[in-house]
């Protein structure tokens, strides 16, 4: 039985009454006792709620599944809160509460429900979905030709998961792309390493990529830092791009490595006293002797924003890249009866300078009816984002040493660095798995010739183009001018990864990572953080003129 939006609202009202009466009878919860008039009004509404429910149950034309109505009503009730306050079925609760354990089966994508669409938050590096070119922002509309618009996150996860080696086809809508895109992906066991890459670059700078903050992040970071410092690095670049966050205590303890003991990293503020907490570093540890640069982008969220913003607040790291996502609300997980669960937003995060990292625009967009029905244009989205960015710059705060930083949503970088975009031809090559398929064939014939510094020759490049044409992928000759270097690098990355492993392949891949390469130039231009801070200040002054 389909429940209309109007019915959903009515049922929501009745179920709230049931829930509220239950709380009164079982737990003796007070209802703002200081406000007698308001309390009396609530009692009247409770009576109305129950009256509506029982009238429906007694008189509706068809038999009613009361349990289904209650579940729908609770979900409808939560529609009037923020998008992070969520009601879980037992399966959804178990999936969510186990999501930080570090290993699971599937495709390798972090997803969230935005309106009626299951949307990719970020692909996980090195996984099947990442290698095929699934991108943040992709909306999943079909799984194996079955429409999943409007279906719960839990149901879509069940459809996407399966045994290792089996295939699943995702059909997606991508912002800026008119036609639907179809990806055939082979499932694998997804093991989540918090720090997949850590090595010394040719220019003497240490590089650490933190993928997410899970239970092992602090331990992994300490080990990697010890190894890099033993190699006498002259600087450290910490890459937090596409890091969706994770465990708060791990973010605090990793910040501890750079600012020392007894420093406030983050505090939370909510409506109830229990939600107001300060998080102070507790270990007598502090790395020093080299400048630190932190690289973020629009998909850096939550704990990664706390890490980046805290190093910025304590003047221990220069933050570069693009303004981060702005996920700064705190959720508490409650187990309910029958195995159900409730995730409730109880507070917001504030880092030491007093900045709230939560971007209210994100919550508004998640609730925007135009997002739900797909009627919003890319131009309207850009305009909304630009307005939010301007509001963001109006809130001025200060670091420990008096540098100006900005609040109001997300972490604003000290130096903004753009990332290059993949061309439509490049998107097609990734979507059709062309790099992977060609590299498999190439390895069969040339594996003995491949070295760690392997590069794609013109001859191999043209063989790849022949392969692409045979696969039915069309392109204009003019498109090759802007993509040739990128294509060669992608091919080399795929081939080297298969011969020497993902880390060696990643060393190849970042050669064409324009955002990362520009960040590394800072270490060649400046030998200390103070010089970098001065340069960043000069750039901001110049931008205002």
Confidence of residue 36 (pLDDT cuts 50, 70, 90): low
Q: CA-CA distance, 257 to 385, in Å (whole number)?
A: 34
> What is 103-191's CATH superfamily?
PDZ domain (2.30.42.10)
Phi, psi dihedral angles at 31 (to 5 degrees): -120, 80
**DSSP secondary structure letter of residue 376:** -
Residue in the block written with tokens 């890249």: 321
Q: Are 85 and 344 in contact (CB under 8 A)?
A: yes
Indicate the Cα dihedral angle 488, 491, 496, 499, nearest 10°.
-150
Active site residue 313: yes
Q: Helix or strand or coil: residue 216?
A: coil
Residue 228 has pLDDT above 70, yes or no: yes
- 3-class secondary-structure state, position 296: strand
Q: In Å, how far are 247, 297, 412, 537 from 305, measured between CA atoms?
A: 12, 10, 10, 21
pTM of the prediction? 0.75
**pLDDT given for residue 369 in this prediction:** 65
Question: Would you call 527 a catalytic residue per the annotation?
Answer: no
pLDDT at 386: 72
DSSP 159: H
Helix H, strand E, coil C: the string for 356-409 is: ECCCHHHHHHHHCHHHHHCCCCHHHHHHHHHHHHHHHCCCEEECCCCCEEECCC
Could you tell me if 324 and 303 are in contact, meaning their C-beta atoms sit under 8 angstroms apart?
A: no
Domain boundaries, the chain: 5-80, 103-191, 197-329+348-416, 424-512
CA–CA distances in Å: residue 410 to residues 35, 100, 480: 37, 23, 37
Higher pLDDT, 206 or 545: 206
Alpha helices in 60-132 (DSSP H): 66-78, 90-97, 128-132
Catalytic residue among 154, 313, 368, 414: 313
Helix or strand (DSSP H, E) at 146:
strand 146-147
**DSSP secondary structure letter of residue 487:** H
The answer to whether 456 and 485 are in contact (CB under 8 A) is no
Residue the block writes with tokens 């670091």: 399
- Domain 197-329+348-416 grouped into CATH 3.90.226.10: yes
- Per-residue pLDDT reduced to its tens digit, 477-531: 888 888 999 999 999 998 998 888 888 999 999 999 999 999 999 999 999 999 9
Annotated catalytic residue, options 302, 304, 439, 497: 302
240 and 210 in contact (C-beta within 8 Å)? yes
12 pLDDT more than 60: no
Residue with token string 């007598």: 284
Q: 313 near 255, Cβ under 8 Å?
A: no
- Looking at 327, 343, 488, 499, which residue is catalytic? 327
Average per-residue pLDDT in the chain?
Answer: 85
Residue 199's Cα: distance from chain center in Å?
A: 24
Measuring CA to CA, how many Å separate 392 from each of 327, 361, 397, 405?
14, 11, 11, 10
Q: Which two tokens stand for residue 157?
A: 């996860």
Mean pLDDT of 154-158: 85
Least confident of 119-128, 294-303, 457-466: 119-128
DSSP summary character for residue 99: T
Q: Could you tell me the pLDDT band of residue 368, with boundaries at 50, 70 and 90?
A: low
Phi/psi of residue 200, each to 5°? -90, 130
The most confident of the ranges 14-23, 130-139, 172-181, 351-360 is: 351-360
Distance CA 280, CA 393 (A): 28
What tens digit of pLDDT does each residue of 304-363 get?
999 999 999 999 999 999 999 898 888 888 999 888 999 999 999 999 999 999 988 777
Rounded Cα gap, residues 71 and 63, in angstroms: 16
* Dist. CA 328–CA 44, nearest whole Å: 37
pLDDT by residue (tens digit) across 416-425?
999 888 888 9
Percent of the chain with pLDDT over 90: 46
- Relative to beta strand 146-147, strand 139-143 is antiparallel
- Where does the pLDDT of residue 189 fall: very low under 50, low under 70, confident under 90, or very high at 90 and above? confident
Q: Is 294 helix (H, G, I), strand (E, B) or coil?
A: strand
Contact 139, 374 (CB under 8 A): no
Q: What is the pLDDT of residues 230-276, one digit of tens each?
A: 999 999 999 999 999 988 999 999 999 999 999 999 999 999 999 99
6: burial class by Cβ within 10 Å (0-12, 13-18, 19+)?
Answer: exposed
Percent of the chain with pLDDT over 70: 87
């Amino acid at each position: 039985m389909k429940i209309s939006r109007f019915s959903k609202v009515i049922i929501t009202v009745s179920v709230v009454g049931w829930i509220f009466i239950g709380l009164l009878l079982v737990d003796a919860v007070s209802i703002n006792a200081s406000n007698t008039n308001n309390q009396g009004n609530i009692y009247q509404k409770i009576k109305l709620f129950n009256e509506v429910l029982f009238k429906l149950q007694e008189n509706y034309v068809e038999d009613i599944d009361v349990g289904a109505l209650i579940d729908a009503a609770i979900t409808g009730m939560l529609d009037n809160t923020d998008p992070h306050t969520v009601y879980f079925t037992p399966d959804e609760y178990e999936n969510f509460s186990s999501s930080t354990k570090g290993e699971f089966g599937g495709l390798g994508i972090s997803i969230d429900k935005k309106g009626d669409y299951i949307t990719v938050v970020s692909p996980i590096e090195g996984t099947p979905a990442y290698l095929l070119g699934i991108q943040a922002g992709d909306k999943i509309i079909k799984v194996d030709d079955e429409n999943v618009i409007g279906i719960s996150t839990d149901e879509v996860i069940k459809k996407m998961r399966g045994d290792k080696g089996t295939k699943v086809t995702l059909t997606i809508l991508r912002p800026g792309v008119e036609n639907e895109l179809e990806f055939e992906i082979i499932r694998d066991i997804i093991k989540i390493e918090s720090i997949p890459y850590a090595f010394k670059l040719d220019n003497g700078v240490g590089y650490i990529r933190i993928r997410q903050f899970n239970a092992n992040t602090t331990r992994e970071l300490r080990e990697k830092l010890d190894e890099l410092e033993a190699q006498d690095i002259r600087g450290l670049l910490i890459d937090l791009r596409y890091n969706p966050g994770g465990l708060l205590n791990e973010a605090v303890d990793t910040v501890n490595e750079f600012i020392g003991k007894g420093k406030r990293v983050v505090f939370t503020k909510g409506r109830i006293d229990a939600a107001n907490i300060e998080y102070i570093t507790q270990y007598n540890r502090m790395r020093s002797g080299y400048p630190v640069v932190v690289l973020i982008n629009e998909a850096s969220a939550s704990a990664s924003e706390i890490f980046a913003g805290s190093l910025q607040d304590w003047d221990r790291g220069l933050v570069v890249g693009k303004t981060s996502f702005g996920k700064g609300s705190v959720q508490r997980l409650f187990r309910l009866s029958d195995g159900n669960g409730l995730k409730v937003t109880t507070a917001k995060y504030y880092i030491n300078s007093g900045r709230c990292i939560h971007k209210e625009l994100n919550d508004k967009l998640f609730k925007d009816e135009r997002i739900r029905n797909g009627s919003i244009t890319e131009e309207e989205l850009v305009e909304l984002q630009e307005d939010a960015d301007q509001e963001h710059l109006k809130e001025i705060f200060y670091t420990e040493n008096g540098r100006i930083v900005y609040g109001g949503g997300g972490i604003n970088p000290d130096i903004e660095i753009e990332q290059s975009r993949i061309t439509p031809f490049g998107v097609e090559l990734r979507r059709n798995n062309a790099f992977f398929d060609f590299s498999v064939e190439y390895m069969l014939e040339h594996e003995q010739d491949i070295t760690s510094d392997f590069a794609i020759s013109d001859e191999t490049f043209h063989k790849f183009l022949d392969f692409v044409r045979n696969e039915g992928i069309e392109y204009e000759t003019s498109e090759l001018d802007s993509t040739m270097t990128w294509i060669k690098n992608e091919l080399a990355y795929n081939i080297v990864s298969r011969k020497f492993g993902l880390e060696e392949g990643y060393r190849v891949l970042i050669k064409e990572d324009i955002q990362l390469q520009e960040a590394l130039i800072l270490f060649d231009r400046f030998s200390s953080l103070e010089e970098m801070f001065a340069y960043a200040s000069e750039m901001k002054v110049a931008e205002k003129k």
